[in-house]
Structure formats: structure tokens, C-alpha cells
Amino acid sequence: MQIQDDLQSRWWNLEASLVERFGKKPDLETILFLIGIQEFGDIRPKFTKEQKQDLIHVAVCSLLSQSGYYEIESVDEDGWPHFKQLKSLPEYNMIEQENFLKDHILLYFQQHGFQ
């Protein structure tokens, strides 16, 4: 339970930092979208719905590459990274999946000097 409490505490700290920076509390999907934009490296005034979904996918693959689940296989002519899955993801229930992702998000922000 203490590990869970630590994760939640670190998550609340990240949310507070993001509120301070952006003026409102982002949800998990918005945080993934922001990471996707960062990893894609092309900030545009507008993304299509499909591009937003692709950015979230880029974020998830980038996050999980930190633990060896994915690696970048190629980057296409439009600059979109494509990933190769290296190992199976753990089988978690919904709450465990969310916590697994949150832990990787926290690591990402720590490695990128945010917080």
C-alpha cells in the first residue's frame, strides 16, 4: 500500500506542476497527448482526430520504451515514429494499467527535467 501511496503522491505533485504551468489540471489523456507532441517534435496549431490518437499512441510507446517494451523501428517521411514491440505487456486490470502508465509518465517527466 505504501508504494501505491507514493505513486499517488508523486502523481499529485506532477498534476500540481502542470496546473501551475498550464493553468488547469490535465487528465491522463491530455498528458499523453502532450508527451506525444513532445516526442513527435512538430507543434502544429491543429491536429486531426486521427493525428491526436496517433500522438497518444506515440506517447504510450515512447513511455513504455523506457522499460524495454518498445523501440523505435523507423520514422516515416512525415516525421512520425513507428515502434516495434519487444516484449509482451504485463496483464493488469484497469487500475493497475493506469498506475503502470502513471509510473512511466512520472519517470518520463523526471528524465526530461520537469518537476
Compute the distance between CA of residue 100 and CA of residue 90 in angstroms, rounded to an integer. 9
pLDDT digits (tens, 9 = 90+) for 6-37: 999 999 999 999 999 889 999 999 999 999 99
pLDDT digits (tens, 9 = 90+) for 28-79: 999 999 999 999 988 888 999 999 999 999 999 999 999 999 999 999 998 9
Per-domain residue ranges of the chain? 2-111
- pTM across the whole model: 0.88
Question: At what angle are helices 94-111 and 49-65 packed, to 10 degrees?
Answer: 80
- What residue type is assigned to position 15 of the chain? E
pLDDT digits (tens, 9 = 90+) for 87-111: 999 999 999 999 999 999 999 999 9
Grid cell, residue 61, equals 510507446
Compute the distance between CA of residue 14 and CA of residue 11 in angstroms, rounded to an integer. 5
Considering Cα of 61, then 95, then 106, then 15, what sign does the dihedral take? positive
